[in-house]
Structures are given as structure tokens and as C-alpha cells.
Amino acid sequence: MTDPTPGQSPPRLGPSTIAIHSGESRQKLAHSITDPIICASTYTFANTQAVIDYIEQKQQREEYGRYGNPGEDVIEKKLAAIEGGEDAVLYASGMAAIVGLLMTKLSTGDEIIFFDECYHRSREFCVKHLTRYGVVTRQVKACDYEAMAAAITPQTKMLVSESPTNPHLSCVDLEKFVAIAREHQVETLIDATLATPYNLRPIEYGVDYVLHSATKYLGGHNDLLAGVIVGSAEKLDAVRNLRGIMGAINSPHNVYLLQRGLKTFELRMQRHNQNGQALAEFLENHPRVEKVYYPGLKSHSYHAEAVKYMRGFGGLVTFLVKDADWRQTANVVDAVQIPRIAPSLGGVESLIEQPLVMSYYEQKPEDRQRFGIPDNMIRLACGLENTEDLIADLQQALER
Ligand SMILES: *Cc1c(COP(=O)(O)O)cnc(C)c1O
């Protein structure tokens, strides 16, 4: 199937049609409707001329498993189509994708600017590791565009943010973000893991690289790790090249799981969005809840940006338990019967965690305060269970 191009005939296809069919051959091995899982670490050549034809790029094919495999190629085309981007590079995890992109694009003396609400391992990679290679990371307050513009120097190469951010769900004004970058001729990266291409379309606003931990909503079943970067083929060429050296490739079995998960992508997102909105509204009206962070709530600081840029607001809901210390907050988490206590999000099973304990336990209290992680914060990642069951469960946990 040829990938849809906006504004051309045939008309642009819907997200489910793209997620199900894009990137796949119509006629497959053994007339199978599903793609085969090709378990090969290496690929054979019929003769020396075939090797030469491949090296001279006269023939597109696989060579060695670290550089790619047939299933991975299908997924990359599918994810590029879903995102509305030209090309995609798949990685073994979201972190491998972040590391792979930044290692490709940055050299000694370069600087990047981050909005400070972000996945803690992304921050750790920049602050602890990129610094060892002489790359400077400047962190500015999330969604403070003036501070971001002011932090740009002639060495700045890239502006980086999540949208929505984790766990505060702040939403970036993509037009402002891209305008600052264009004015200073630097590139932009949005980690849109929490939004997914169903809810947010950063490329349409001119963002250069969109990154996803496909471990979350794209895979969607809490059963695989993967990451992807979508952008122009030209910009991703060097990224793909370094991935082949890093070896952070996804295995044939794993890409099959991801392909299978993507078939139901739109349907799953609709339920995640529905559950997230319903749980956020329920929690906001509960007397034991002090505050709810959810982009779909009018009370959310970034509701205007969310409404402007997003189709739906996702399954992640963060809230504070009123007048609760860390133990009383943990008691709420422990009283919940349906969501499982675990890190991660975006799968069919709802997950719940107290950020203090799960991701920030080893941080100093003053750092937790700086990152905005109070002891009474709970992060609920709504899965696909029935909305009323999740509400009833949170209700009994809060009222215990
Ligand atoms: C989970 C996550 C990552 C890291 O992805 P992995 O697949 O776990 O390596 C990066 N960014 C965000 C926003 C995430 O939620």
C-alpha cells in the first residue's frame, strides 16, 4: 500500500487504516496475511556480484542483523506513516532512541536546552553522561519560552521537551517552541510518548524529531520494549548509521509483537483517552484529592495548549492526596485492587505508582522538591479496563 500524502488523492486515510496496513506488502510469504518473523542474524548472497550490487546500492535488501531486519523495516514504514513523517528509526527501547539521537547530533562544545520536567533517565543521560563528552545541557523551567530563548547560545544545537511532560502533564505550545528554534536555527526534539501520534502531531508544526518510547502506547500491551524517532530521511540518515554501530536494534520477535500491538492502536487510544478523562474528573471531585494534573481538565495549567494541539489527553493522570504524608499516600496505592503497582504506562493493564517511591526514592528531598515531586503524589496510568470499574476501585481505595 502506498502511504497517504496529505492533500493528494487518494484522500488521507484514518489512523486505524494506516496502523493496520501501512508499511506492509499486500502479498506476503506463503500468502500469509501476517508478516513472517524472520529469525536471521545474517542474510545470504547468491554470488559475489550480488554482494557488489548491494554495496553499490543497486539492490535494497538485508545484509547483517545489526543493521536491520525485514520486520523492523515494516514497522519503521508503519510508524512513519502513523506519525505523518518521512522516515523512522526503530530502537531496542525509548532510552536507546534518545541516546542514539543525541549521540549522533552532538559533539564536544555543543549545547542542548531541556525543559526541566522530563523522564528522569533522559535527564540523567544528559547531566551525567553527555557532560563527559563536553556537551552542555541547560535546563529551563518547563514551558518558559522566554527562559528557553534566553538560554540559547551560538553553541546550542537542539531544543528538547516532552509533551505532555511526565508526570506533571504540562503541554508545550509547539508553535512557540518551533518559532524560537527557527529564529536561532537550532533543531527541535519532542518526546511525545505520553501523547502518541493519535493525540499529538508535532511534525505538522515543524518539529524536526518526534520520539516515542514504543514500550508504552504504541506497543500497548506491557510486553515489549522499543523506541522510535520519526523525522526527515535526510536528518535520520546519520542516526540510522550510528544505530548500526550501537547495536540498539529490535529483534525480529519483538518487532512482530509491536506490529501486532499497532493493529489496534486507534481503538486502544480512544479507550485510554476515555478512561484518563473520566478518572481525572472523578478524582478532581473527590474530597480526599488535593489536586489533579490532567490536560483534559479545565483546571489544568496547560488546558489551553492541550485543547489547541491535542485530539485527546491520554491515559496518564497524576494527583495529590489531600493532607497525606508519604505513608498515607502509599496506603491509597496499596488499597487499589485493579491497577497493578509498577512503573510504565500505556499498556492494557492500568498501573499505579507513587513517584516518590518508584522513580525518585534515591533523590535528595530538595531535588524532589525542585523536580516537583511531593510525597503525596500518585501517578495512575489508565489501561483499557472498563471505566466504571476503575472509578469504583479508586473510590474504595480513597475511602478506606
Ligand atoms: C518510558 C519513557 C521513556 C523511556 O523509554 P523506554 O522504552 O523505557 O526506554 C522516555 N520518555 C518517556 C516520556 C517515557 O515515558
User: From the CB of residue 15, how many other CB atoms can be counted at a distance below 10 Å?
Assistant: 18
For the Cβ of 125 lying below 6 angstroms from any atom of ligand 1, the answer is no
Determine whether the shortest distance from the Cβ of 99 to ligand 1 is under 6 A.
no
- Share of residues in the chain with pLDDT > 90 (%): 92
pLDDT over 60 (residue 388) = yes
- For atom 11 of ligand 1, the residue with the nearest CA is 119
278: CA distance to ligand 1 center in Å?
25
Lowest mean pLDDT among 3-7, 25-29, 103-107, 203-207: 3-7
pLDDT at 338 over 70: yes
How many Cβ atoms sit within 10 Å of the Cβ of residue 107? 11
Taking the centre of ligand 1 as the mean of its atom positions, its distance from the CA of residue 165, in whole angstroms, is 11
Ligand 1 mean position, distance from CA 11 (Å): 33
| pLDDT higher than 50, residue 7 | no
- Nearest atom in ligand 1 to the alpha carbon of residue 98 is 10
C-alpha distances in angstroms, 227 versus 75, 132, 147, 214, 216?
Answer: 11, 24, 30, 5, 9
How high is the pLDDT of residue 2? 47
* Ligand 1 binding pocket includes 94 (Cβ within 6 Å): yes
Average pLDDT of the residues in 148-175: 97
Model pLDDT, residue 13: 95
Residue with CA closest to ligand 1 atom 15: 193
| Pocket lining: 163 vs ligand 1, CB cutoff 6 Å | no
Domains of the chain, start order: 15-262 (3.40.640.10), 265-399 (3.90.1150.10)
Would you state the pLDDT for residue 10? Answer: 62
Please choose from 102, 125, 166 the residue to mutate so as to test ligand 1's pocket, defined by most ligand atoms within 8 A of CB.
Answer: 166
> Above 90 in pLDDT, residue 363?
no
- Given this model, what pLDDT does residue 362 score? 83
Using the mean position of ligand 1's atoms as its centre, give its distance from the Cα of residue 291 in Å: 25
Query: Phi-psi bin for 390: left (phi > 0), alpha (psi -120 to 50), beta?
Result: alpha
Q: Averaged over 156-185, what is the pLDDT? A: 97
Per residue in 238-296, pLDDT tens? 999 999 999 999 999 999 999 999 999 999 999 999 999 999 999 999 999 999 999 99
Q: What pLDDT does 249 receive?
A: 96
Q: Backbone phi, then psi, for 289, in 5-degree steps? A: -105, 130
pLDDT of 308 above 60: yes
227 lines ligand 1 (CB under 6 A): yes
Whether 335 contacts 80, CB under 8 Å: no
Ligand 1 in reach of 209 Cβ (< 6 A): no
How many A from CA of 38 to the centre of ligand 1?
27
3-class DSSP state of 271: helix
Residue 4: the pLDDT is 47
In the block, which residue shows the cell 516537583? 372
For residue 38, pLDDT over 50 is answered with yes
